[in-house]
Amino acid sequence: MLRLFEDTSSVFDALQNASGHPSFRSATGSKTMQTMIGNFVAAAAMVVTVVLFEMGLMAPGNAFFAVTLVILMFTANQLIARENQPLRDAVVNMFTNPASYAGRGTFAAYVGSTALGAIVIVQTLAYI
């Protein structure tokens, strides 16, 4: 019985082929669930920060720091996903080529978070 599961990658591949679901990947394949959770957390953090700042419940300096942190971490994640590309091409593809993302949700989360972050950064710089 144990010999059947010595090579777990073949088990995952068999399950993937049997399920037919594109988001089910083997342990060595795409990390779709981790990407989806990361996108959700980053987008939620950005929305919460913007709402708290706009309601006056967060100081401008704190909002600036939180928004900058989320944008930097999200951008670093997207650059890591494009590690096989030259830096210039990776940066250009992040903003101009939605097909270079793992999915439409990832692209929407990144562009939306960056846009919200830009709004907060401009507003916080106006307080200085």
**For 33-84, what is each residue's pLDDT tens digit?**
877 888 888 889 999 999 999 999 999 999 999 999 999 988 888 888 888 9
Whether 39 and 79 map to the same domain: the answer is yes
Whether 12 and 71 map to the same domain: the answer is no
Whether 59 and 99 map to the same domain: the answer is yes
- Domain encompassing residue 72: 31-127
Whether 64 and 110 map to the same domain: the answer is yes
Condensed to tens digits (0 to 9), the pLDDT of residues 97-120 reads: 888 887 788 888 888 889 999 999
* Residues 6+ away with beta carbon under 8 Å from 117: 46, 67, 68, 70, 71
Whether 76 and 35 map to the same domain: the answer is yes
CB-CB contact of 97 with 76 (8 Å): no
Say how far apart CA 87 and CA 52 lie, in whole Å.
Answer: 34
Distances (CA, A) of 46 to 29, 37, 78, 88: 29, 14, 16, 26
